[in-house]
Amino acid sequence: MKKLYRAVVEGNLIRLYEKVDIPDGTETLVTLSPVKSSSEKDITKRQIESLDKGFDMGKILYTKRGELYDS
């Protein structure tokens, strides 16, 4: 029987978020695969989108260096 369960690690304990239907004393193999919380994933996604999009710097476009000093 292979099923995935979400859990949180607290010191040397692994606390499952849901009740499991296996008998006490059953030997299990635990594979750790840390999962970012959804808020961290959302923050990372927004940061990457912001970097890709850039930001408004006045929309003045100069094609030549000398144009910077023409006022």
Cα distances (angstroms) measured from residue 56 to each of 29, 47, 53: 52, 16, 9
Domain-wise residue ranges, the chain = 7-62
pLDDT in tens, 10-61: 899 989 999 988 899 999 888 887 776 668 788 888 889 888 887 777 767 7
Q: For residue 21, what pLDDT is reported? A: 87
Query: What is the pTM for the complete model shown?
Result: 0.42
Contact 2, 17 (CB under 8 A): no
Single-letter residue type at 69: Y
Residue 71 pLDDT: 56
In the block, residue with structure tokens 């006045």: 58
